[in-house]
Amino acid sequence: MDNSAASHGLIQWHGTTIIGVKRDGKTVVAGDGQVSMGNTVMKPNARKVRRIGKDEKVVAGFAGATADAFTLFERLEKKLEQYSGQLTRAAVELAKDWRTDKYLRNLEALMIVADAEVMLVITGNGDVLEPEGGIAAIGSGGNYALSAARALVDYEDDAENIARRAMQVAAEVCVFTNDQVTVEVV
């Protein structure tokens, strides 16, 4: 018996790469623009990285289902407002809700969020992680981008240059990642 999603008529939206790089007082979050459905590129220029919050001092990037990510962006914005822009506190409260709320628990996405002080990865398992070495990457091309960025930090000081080059490497290797990159700096 075949229990795959395809055999049940479910369509999986797949693929993206988001990277965050924090270096020398500058934090960059970058993401590709490809939205894939199976083996088909449905959209090449989606915007998966954006500024959020009342004063737009927080940058967030997502990997996963688009509708789920928008729901999480909205929830994080509310938490930022509730906790006076304290990103870590807002992220922890979002992660708690995401893990325990009956509706949110079914959302399929990962997020990298950052402000001038901190960069975090938030998961639906209740994790709020501050990446080691100031580099985090998520999505189908995340490991490629992460590896490239880690190799580049010995030779490059600028966070934006590291993020852009890492995204380029991921786009060259991962078929679910393209070179239509959105970059936000805080």
Q: Kindly report, residue by residue over 158-173, the tens digit of the pLDDT.
A: 999 999 999 999 999 9
17 is catalytic: no
User: Domain 7-176 classified CATH 3.60.20.10?
Assistant: yes
Query: Active-site residue among 16, 17, 27, 177?
Result: 16
The pLDDT of 14-42, averaged and rounded, is: 90
pLDDT at 3 over 70: no
Pick from 127, 158, 160, 133: nearest CA to 147:
133
Domain boundaries along the sequence of the chain: 7-176
Q: Kindly report, residue by residue over 37-51, the tens digit of the pLDDT.
A: 888 888 999 999 999
- What pLDDT does residue 118 have? 97
Q: What is the pTM of this model?
A: 0.90
Pick from 45, 38, 32, 30: nearest CA to 14:
38
- What pLDDT does residue 7 have? 36
